[in-house]
Each structure stands twice: as C-alpha cells, then as structure tokens.
C-alpha cells in the first residue's frame, strides 16, 4: 500500500476510535446546617471542538434562579469555600454564558421550581480536555441569582453577586478511563504519521 493510502486509513481510523468524554458531579451541601441541597450532574463532549452538554437534577434549592459556575479548584476540604473563585484563565470580567467576554466557568443560572432544578446546559467555552478543561475542578451552585455582570453591585463583574455557595462537587472522570490527555487524538495521528514516514524512508521538512 502507498504512503498516501496508509495515511488515509490512519485518518479515518483515528476518527473512528475517537471517544466521547463523559464526566460526573455529585453535589453536596456547603453548609451542614442546610443539608438538603444535593444533586447529580453528567457532562458529555463528543470531541474537543464540540460543546459540552450538562444534564442533571438538583434538589433542595429555594425556588428561583441560582448562579451556576465552574470554580478553579477540586478541593472541597473546607466545603465549597476551598473551591476558590470562578475558573478564569484569561482574567476576564464576569459575564453571561453567551457573552464574548466572560469567565470560562460562567454558566449563568439554573432555576428551581418546587425545590427541584433540572439542569440542561450546552456550552461552547468549557471543555473536557485541552486548555479550558474543567475536569478535576468544581461546580458550585449559589444561593442567589447571578446578575451576569450586568448589575451595579461591586461584585457584579467578579462573581455576578450570586450570594453564598449552596452546594458543590468535583468534576470527575467517568469515561473513557485512559484517554483524557489534551489533544490525544492529534498526538496519536502525528506520531503514527511520523512512524509511516520513517518506515517509508521519506523525509519531511518545515
């Protein structure tokens, strides 16, 4: 088989084995005196350039809107406080999910009705791999509504003035268990490409 043919097969093979990334979050209450706020979330991403889908249910929140963010750390040793601030690698102001300028972790609000919040979020900024990966970080649900950076409060452009932290959980790996390295598909393809070139005696210059 020609090198061109082998590369064609390699490209299609790499696409074929690309696996959907799935992560999970178990939300636990921040305040032991308010142990009723709990939840389960599932996060899915088809590929590194696909949006992340977040689905799940949260119980025990008061009715209304509640800020919902990805925070920097996966450390819950001191409750939700040790999750630190919003995940914001670009040092932007706080904003709405659809804003051009926002924290990576800005996911807006969820709404609780009769004590139950159904979470259905599709976001193109967060990722489950690469630079904006949120795996190993935390999701925090707040007591109050996120003003999306549009309020006049001193915290609007920092936290959305969403109030105290009601519940939180670490974003953990569900599947696949062995291929969560950034750009793993690209690395595999490039390594195999170089192997074929080496075996064929071809030289590539840059």
Positions marked catalytic: 69, 71, 86, 94, 103, 106, 142, 165
- The three-state DSSP-derived secondary structure of the chain is CCHHHHHHHHHHHHHHHCCCEEEEEEEEECCCCCCCCEEEEEEEECCCCCCEEEEEEEECCCCEEEEEEEECCCCCEEEEHHHCCECCCCCCCCCCCCCCCCCCCEEEEEEEECCEEEEEEEECCCECCCCCECCCCEEEEECCCCCCCCCCCCCCCCCCCCCCEEEEEECEEEECCCCCCCCHHHHHHHHHHHHHHHHHCCCCCC
């Amino acid at each position: 088989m020609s090198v061109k043919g082998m590369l064609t097969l390699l490209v299609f093979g790499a696409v074929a084995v690309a696996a959907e990334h799935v992560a999970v979050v178990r939300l636990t209450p921040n305040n032991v005196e308010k142990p009723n706020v709990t939840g389960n979330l599932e996060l899915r991403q088809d590929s590194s350039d696909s949006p992340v889908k977040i689905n799940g249910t949260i119980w025990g929140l008061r009715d209304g809107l509640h800020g919902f963010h990805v925070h920097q750390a996966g450390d819950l040793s001191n409750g939700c406080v040790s999750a630190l601030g919003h995940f914001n690698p670009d040092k932007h102001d706080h904003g709405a999910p659809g804003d051009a300028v926002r924290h990576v972790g800005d996911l807006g609000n969820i709404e609780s009705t009769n004590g139950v919040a159904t979470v259905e979020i599709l976001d193109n900024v967060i990722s489950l791999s690469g630079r904006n990966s949120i795996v190993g970080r935390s999701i925090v649900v707040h007591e109050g509504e996120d003003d999306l950076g549009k309020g006049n409060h001193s915290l609007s452009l920092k936290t959305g003035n969403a109030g105290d932290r009601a519940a939180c959980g670490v974003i953990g790996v569900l599947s696949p268990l062995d291929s969560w390295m950034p750009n793993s598909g690209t690395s595999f393809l490039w390594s195999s490409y170089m192997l074929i070139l080496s075996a064929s005696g071809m030289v590539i210059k840059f």
